[in-house]
């Protein structure tokens, strides 16, 4: 039996409160949660995850073989069997690569790229 290591990265934007301790500057629903079966890293402000990656943010789920997340720009880039789901009523988009330029924005904009012309959209 092959053992799998599940990595969980949770990013919640924080600021310093009047006491000097870190205090949430936004509600917890703005957290970005990334899980993966494979290797992951966090260098500077960029998180990288591989193998069966699942990323949750707002009421969205982004799955892929590989994912990067820039904590400063809130940019998500998913590649390899990428799929983006929004809630129960907004449907799904999929493609070889999906970029979400700012996962903290509403409405949520995305770009799907692959062999054909890029497709842009929003939820």
pLDDT at 48 over 90: yes
Residue given tokens 């409405």 in the structure block = 107
Average pLDDT over residues 27-36: 75
Q: How confident is the model over 70-85, as pLDDT tens digits? A: 999 999 999 999 999 9
Q: What is the pLDDT of residue 25?
A: 32
CA distance 31 to 69: 12
Residue given tokens 């703005």 in the structure block = 30
The closest alpha carbon to 75, from 40, 46, 114, belongs to 46
Contacts of 108 (CB under 8 A, 6+ apart): 58, 60, 86, 100, 122, 123
Q: What is the pLDDT of residue 115?
A: 64
Q: What is the pLDDT of residue 107?
A: 87
Q: What superfamily would CATH give domain 7-122?
A: Lipopolysaccharide (LPS) transport protein A like domain (2.60.450.10)
Q: What is the pLDDT of residue 11?
A: 45
Q: How confident is the model over 103-122, as pLDDT tens digits? A: 998 888 999 988 676 777 77
Number of Cβ within 10 Å of residue 108's Cβ equals 20
């Amino acid at each position: 039996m092959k053992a799998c290591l599940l990595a969980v990265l949770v990013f919640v934007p924080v600021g310093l409160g009047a006491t000097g301790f870190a205090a949430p500057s936004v509600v917890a629903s703005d957290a970005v949660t990334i899980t993966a079966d494979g290797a992951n890293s966090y260098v500077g402000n960029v998180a990288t995850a591989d193998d069966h990656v699942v990323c949750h943010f707002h009421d969205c789920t982004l799955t892929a073989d590989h994912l990067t997340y820039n904590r400063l720009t809130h940019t998500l880039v998913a590649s390899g069997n990428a799929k983006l789901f929004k809630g129960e009523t907004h449907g799904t988009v999929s493609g070889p690569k999906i970029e979400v330029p700012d996962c903290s924005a509403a409405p949520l904009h995305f770009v799907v790229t692959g062999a054909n012309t890029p497709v842009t959209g929003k939820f």
